[in-house]
Chains A and B, each alone.
Chain A
Amino acid sequence: MERTGIINQLLRRLRFVVPMLLALGVLVLLRAPGEEVMFRLAGIRITQEALTTAGWTTIRLLAIATASMLFTLLVPLSHVVDGMRRVRIPHPVVSVTWMTERFLAILTSDLRRTMDGVRARSAALALPRRVLLGTRIAASFLLRAVARSEYLADAMTARGFDGRIPILPGARWMRRDSFIASACLVVFIVAIVL
């Protein structure tokens, strides 16, 4: 994959995560304890300590999310399966990891299509009705996700899946993969320890 392609994909994926992390940051900002009050507004108290905690929490989670996404973008899933086999991770764990990654990718694509549908139909609606439509669609999306998982299971069993993800030709864990995994691990450790 070209570098610009990877960056674009990373930004596209982060678009889903960043709003959630910001919301979490705001929650921490409002709830974290602290002494040094920076300002008060309508009963809300923001302290210096809460601001620092919220900032660091958001940055740490963003670093972990970015490193995870870069790993999945740079290391093919089939290489990961081979790597897990080599370090003797049990088959059920390998299969679940593979299916989770695949299922999330498929669901993300479904979600994108669903959101296109929402945008196409909600332009004329006022904000409260748009929110209501959004919640209804979220519920139907969840149901669709369940159906999707069943179809995925059917498709896999129809092709002879017996609980083990097969090793594909040329799918080998490479030195480059080890380097990327190590770099991501360092980011994880730094984000957690600091």
Chain B
Amino acid sequence: MKRETSPHPERILDCRGLHCAWPGGALALEDVDLTMRRGERVALIGPNGAGKSTLLRALIGLVPFEGEIHVEGLALRKSTLRDIRLRIGLVFQHPDDQLFSPSIAEDVAFGPAAMGLSADEVTERVREALDTTGLGEMAARNPLELSYGERRRAAIATVLSMRPVLLAMDEPSSNLDPAHRRRLIRWLQEQTDLTLLLATHDLDMAAETCTRAVLLSRRIVADGPIRDILADRALLERHDLEPPLGMQGMRYYET
């Protein structure tokens, strides 16, 4: 019988024996065990199709799974789905999949308003999230009219306004220009209280923002300090990854 509460309530996230399958039957995740403590910053790395996005979506019950997921000791069930979704803020891979309101301010306010917060509290959270992401002056703009980088920041703001206990980001640096990518890295570095789960191919970003790395290739193949995992070239190459450019030394193309 599945447990209703986690035996380790101090853990923010506790996944046990997680299996996810595609509609055709192929396994997307196989026997994944993952735990995270409050304030931990974990980079979820792996090649394309490793199951990174699937794992993040499973955490808030967007894909069917077998196994157990506990968030702050609360088991993921149909009855707890809403509570869990308010605890985990998931930033989707494509901001266009995340933004749906006529203006950025309304999109950012949607989550806090759905939580039943007072108008003053919602307004305060919207202001704070927009300031944090540098979108204060664009609050009234239609998300569909923004640049990709701005939409990405707006998507992050929609999640920040809900003040989740765990921020899960799916490829947050994809399609960002270098300046916005750097700004995002700095912002993540500044949020020292954040519990962060970052699914990414951008290993340089992972190295700069996380302390622990989990290498996923349908199942977890390595889990440890990010320095050790990123230094293991053979391990990375076996899983179609490369050490971060910062560790490789730049090699220029020469004819």
Contacts and interface: CB of A to CB of B under 8 A. Distances in A.
- Chains A and B belong together in one complex: yes
Interface of A: 76-78, 102, 105-106, 109, 151-152, 154-162, 164, 166-171
Nearest to A160: B114
A78 B57 CA distance: 29
Interface residues of B, number: 31
Contacts of A152: 97, 100
A169 to B, nearest CB: 4
B101 A102 contact: yes
Contact of A151 (B97, B101, B109): B97
B119 A170 contact: yes
A169 B120 CA distance: 8
Interface string B172-198: 000000000000000000000000000
B102 A76 contact: yes
A157 B88 CA distance: 12
A168 B116 CA distance: 10
- What are the 7 A-B residue pairs with the smallest beta carbon separation, nearest first? A166-B113, A169-B119, A159-B111, A151-B97, A160-B114, A109-B144, A166-B114
B82 to A, nearest CB: 6
29 contacts: A76-B102, A78-B106, A102-B100, A102-B102, A105-B102, A105-B144, A109-B144, A151-B92, A152-B100, A156-B100, A156-B110, A158-B62, A158-B85, A158-B92, A159-B110, A159-B111, A160-B82, A160-B114, A160-B115, A162-B114, A164-B114, A166-B110, A166-B114, A166-B116, A168-B110, A168-B113, A169-B119, A169-B126, A171-B106
A113 B126 CA distance: 30
Contacts of B144: 105-106, 109
Contacts of A159: 85, 110-111, 114, 158, 162
A167 B117 CA distance: 10
A160 B98 contact: no
